[in-house]
Chains A and B, each alone.
Chain A
Amino acid sequence: MSIERATGDELERPSADSGNVAEKRGGSTRFFNPRRIDIYLQIAFLIAVFAIWECSAIYFGTDFWTSRPSAIAQELVNWANSGLLWTDLKLTLMEAGIGFVIGSALGGLVGFVLGWIRRLGDFFEPFILSIYTLPKIALAPLFVLWFGIGAINKIMFSAMLVFFMVFFTTFQGTRQVDRELVENARLLGASNFGIWTKIAIPYSAVWVFTGIRIGLPYSLIGAIVGEFVAAEAGVGFRIKESTAFFNTAGVFAGLIVLMAISLVLLGALKLIERRALRWQVHNSMDGVVP
């Protein structure tokens, strides 16, 4: 009854542990393997940059414009000790986080609906395109008018930026769907409901995720720009306030906090992606057979 089993050469196995192979081949001792050396070099580079920054600031007396690592570190400690660092951080993260969730959900939903319902998408396309090129950041003052200078303003602004990123990606990605895939599903017995649940939604989910990946940094941009324009607290507000007092170290301290937030967000995103898009995780690693 059974037909001969496929041979192994037909299957490309993902070489997920190519790193280990390199490790075994590459070095006699663990200490000198190439990947480790890269990490040491990166750390050394970072230290060198800080050292040059520190020395040149002292030597050339450019403290006022460039500040220097030791002053920035001191500023961070002061900021933390005053308790303001945590409240600022919490506020900015809250604004960006809620904005991100609202923007992603709405952007994904609207992009999905307009992307799949062809007539609706065609109708709205010119309007969508006209908004596409508009620098959305220019709307910030309007948001102050609408939502005041509190957290709501930043949440809405951040949500708006994320919405457009997720919406455009989902809309355009979904419209590219291979119509043959849908037709084939009908031949396989799919009802309209089956097409939506088993083809359309999973297909668009990929694009929603792509949109979310692009949109995530925009949630932070939204919160920070909102705080720049008008605010009473938050990391963005603190940066602006430091600038007003010519406190360069304070500005850099704010930037470093933002960098730390970005790294955390990026890590979270990678974790989510690895779970949700398991089927394409090995993308870059396996030889894709057409």
Chain B
Amino acid sequence: MPDAAQRSRDRTAPMIEFKGTRVRFGSLDAIGPVSLSVKRGEFLAVIGPSGCGKSTLLNLVAGTLKPAGGEVLYRGAPVDGVNREIGYITQKNHCLPWRTVEGNIRLPLEFRGYPNGEIASRVTSVLQQVGLAGFEKSYPRQLSGGMLQRVSIARTLAYAPDTYLMDEPFGSLDAQLRLRMHEEIMRLWHQTGSTFVFVTHDLHEAITLADRVVVISRRPGRIKLVVDIDLPRPRDVIDLQSDPRFGAYFKQLWDALDVH
């Protein structure tokens, strides 16, 4: 875990940069132009009405989609092809049903050619981290949605990417479980010092987790507002809700979303 000084120094270098980025699907302008820079070690939340292209922004960073104009830089270099330095977690957990929890977590490490001993120790460690110890031999079918999402997170954690792209990862979980996952995500962020880009349509989620919230407009998606969330850390997901500043941020973001 990098210390605070280290982290603040790192924060000056941008991890991800969108420079006049535009995306087109056929004749439809989906995004842009968007210019945004995400600092190293930052927790950025992206909100916006559905269909505004929030997920598209993540796909650009992941390299599964090419911009129609402008640039997407990762660590200063244009994203070219699939970006393997990121961890991508979506609402779908993409667990392989024929592999056990352990087998699923091993997958990226096997892909990346880690030696067997290293794989075993990493798997044990991340299972502990996400609270899945004891479920190594379970198959995905035997687990609930929340557990599967933990497997998905553990699998990403195992290869320790510099950046976590999260696309409404807790969208299918119930409210209580969500709150607990928020705590866990914040803890992970502290532990890893990685950069997080978190897409959601839930304002509570965005304010609770993020250093900065970006509001995307309706299609074609553009940046409408960027708000620094100046709430002290570590944050308590419950206490936070009664903080007057939380309410003020909520109001500000709600107005910017323009749901009506």
Contact surface of A with B, Cβ cutoff 8 Å: 1-6, 10-14, 180-181, 183-191, 194, 198-199, 202-203, 205-206, 279-280, 282-283, 286, 288-290
Contact A188 B138 (CB under 8 A): no
The answer to whether the Cβ of B147 comes within 8 Å of any Cβ in the partner chain is yes
Contact B150 A282 (CB under 8 A): no
A187 to chain B: which residues have CB within 8 Å? 62, 64, 82-84, 86-88
Please, which residue of chain B has its CB at the minimum distance from the CB of A181? B94
> Taking A3-B130, A191-B111 as contacts, is the C-beta distance between A184 and B88 under 8 angstroms?
yes
- Contacts beyond the supplied A187-B83, A189-B112, A206-B98: 18 A-B pairs with Cβ under 8 Å: A1-B128, A1-B191, A3-B187, A4-B180, A5-B133, A6-B135, A6-B147, A11-B143, A12-B142, A14-B142, A187-B62, A187-B86, A189-B108, A198-B107, A198-B111, A203-B98, A279-B98, A282-B141
Q: With A and B bound together, what is the CA distance between A240 and B223 in angstroms?
A: 80
Contact A289 B144 (CB under 8 A): yes
Counting chain B residues whose Cβ lies within 8 A of the other chain, the interface size class is: 35 or more
> Taking A6-B146, A189-B112, A198-B111 as contacts, is the C-beta distance between A279 and B128 under 8 angstroms?
no
Report the minimum CB–CB distance from A194 to chain B (whole Å): 5
Q: With A and B bound together, what is the CA distance between A52 and B177 in angstroms?
A: 63
Interface residues as binary, B104-119 with A (CB distance below 8 Å gives 1, 0 otherwise): 0001101110000000
B138 to chain A: which residues have CB within 8 Å? 11
A280 to chain B: which residues have CB within 8 Å? 97-98, 139, 141
The answer to whether the Cβ of B7 comes within 8 Å of any Cβ in the partner chain is no
Specify which of B64, B82, B86, B147 is in contact with A11 (CB 8 Å cutoff): B147
Please, which residue of chain A has its CB at the minimum distance from the CB of B130? A3
Please, which residue of chain B has its CB at the minimum distance from the CB of A188? B108
Q: With A and B bound together, what is the CA distance between A158 and B147 in angstroms?
A: 46
Can you list 9 A-B contacts with CB-CB less than 8 angstroms, sorted by A residue number?
A3-B187, A10-B147, A11-B147, A188-B155, A279-B140, A280-B141, A282-B142, A288-B141, A289-B145
The answer to whether the Cβ of B131 comes within 8 Å of any Cβ in the partner chain is yes
- With most chain A CB atoms within 10 A of its CB, the pick from B141, B143, B159, B183 is B141
B204 to chain A: which residues have CB within 8 Å? none
Q: With A and B bound together, what is the CA distance between A202 and B130 in angstroms?
A: 27
